[in-house]
Structure 1
Amino acid sequence: MAIGATIHTFDVQLADTDRGVYEEYSLRVARHPSETDAYMLTRLLAYGLEFVEGIAFSEGLSSTEEPAVVVRDLTGRTTAWVEVGAPDAERLHYGSRLADRTVVYTHRDPAKVMAPWEGKRIHRSDDIRVYSFDPGFIDAAVPLLERRNTVTMTVTERVLYLDLNGTTLTTAVHEHELG
């Protein structure tokens, strides 16, 4: 945990009907002082939308060798590299070489996030997916964050219904391809 980090607790109920994933879990999320609430919330959503056995938050902003969210199999091998925000092409290249699956979840304009990657060498770039949310969705959810949070995430036909501390917000989960 980073020095000076703010701890947020999330009690999550996840019902992802698209993937047949139904789970309840609690997360303690350390928000680094340089991490925005929007980034932390996107990290939380990425965790839920990618939830499988072996998923975990990495060391976060203090780790340059891992993505925001990582999935490992029982042997410790990285199977999914999940970036958040606007990673550079070099990180995507590294992650794509290391993991079977590489994805990015962003709270920013996906066109602006992907523009710097154009023409750069990224391993298996055609297999990398970028996911974004409706404009304003993250901005509407951020003020609802507290230190202790109750979250219900329901996903149906790539639409996310998020109940955060008693307020429900809805967004499509948009998929963008590189190349």
Structure 2
Amino acid sequence: MAISATVHTFAVQLADVDRGVYEDFELRVAQHPSETTEYLVTRLLAYCLQYEEGIVFSEGGISATDEPAVQVRDMTGRVTKWIEVGAPDADRIHRGSKLAGDAVVYTHRDPAKVLAGYAGKKIHRAESIPLFSFDRTFIDDAAAAVQRRNTASISVTEGELYLDLNGTNLRTEITEQSLA
């Protein structure tokens, strides 16, 4: 018998001063049995930090082979932003960048190792695709604070991310690098 996904709920208060985005919303996030909590946290942060009308988690989650972890679709259903999480394959990013025209990667791993994996690989418009990363201790501490039902307050100002997750207060710098 297959193990089913664990569903986490997040009541999110988002105040992204850098982008002028202020929203309160509820999310139901399914965690696949093979998905680490660190990946789940990074996927949640990617969703919140890219929040705009039309943003959704992919249907297949971590096991989706033809969709990113998070995407933005316009009113016609066309993908306008391809948002990958972790250390996705260069071919996925290449395909997503060509399809959506706008791609971004968020990682909970060592960004130097992730970038080294893309060296010499063909990625459409790699120079315009940012790789965002967070301090590893921040991700580990956030993962330890995740419960089935969560309250999260996320504030972003001047490239600093402040997260209150279930009463655990954390801070990290959002590091941005180009894939090329």
Q: Which residue number in structure 2 is paired with residue 40 of structure 1?
A: 40
Q: Which residue number in structure 2 is paired with residue 157 of structure 1?
A: 158
> Residue deviations 1:134-178, cap 9 Å, x none?
231101111111000000000001100000001110001000112
Unaligned 5+ segments in structure 1 are none
SS of the residue 2:19 aligns to: coil
How do residues 76-155 of structure 1 correspond to structure 2 at under 5 angstroms? Answer: 76-155=77-156
> Residue deviations 1:21-79, cap 9 Å, x none?
00000000110000000000000000000000000000212311100000011111111
Q: Once superposed, what is the RMSD of the aligned Cα atoms?
A: 1.1
Unaligned 5+ segments in structure 2 are none
What is the alpha-carbon distance in structure 2 between the residues aligned to residue 53 and residue 44 of structure 1?
A: 16
- Number of residue pairs the alignment of both structures matches: 178
What is the alpha-carbon distance in structure 2 between the residues aligned to residue 116 and residue 86 of structure 1?
A: 8
* CA-CA distance at 1:100 after TM superposition: 2.1
Query: 2:56 is aligned with what amino acid?
Result: A
The answer to whether structure 1 residue 176 and structure 2 residue 160 are counterparts is no
The answer to whether structure 1 residue 56 and structure 2 residue 49 are counterparts is no
What is the alpha-carbon distance in structure 1 between the residues aligned to residue 112 and residue 82 of structure 2?
A: 21
What is the alpha-carbon distance in structure 2 between the residues aligned to residue 168 and residue 8 of structure 1?
A: 19
Query: 2:40 is aligned with what amino acid?
Result: M
* CA-CA distance at 1:10 after TM superposition: 0.3
* Over 3 Å off, 4+ runs: none
SS of the residue 1:149 aligns to: strand
What is the alpha-carbon distance in structure 2 between the residues aligned to residue 139 and residue 124 of structure 1?
A: 32
TM-score, length-normalised on structure 1?
A: 0.97
SS of the residue 1:87 aligns to: coil
What is the alpha-carbon distance in structure 2 between the residues aligned to residue 178 and residue 57 of structure 1?
A: 23
Identical amino acids, percent of aligned pairs: 63
TM-score, length-normalised on structure 2?
A: 0.96
Query: 1:54 is aligned with what amino acid?
Result: G
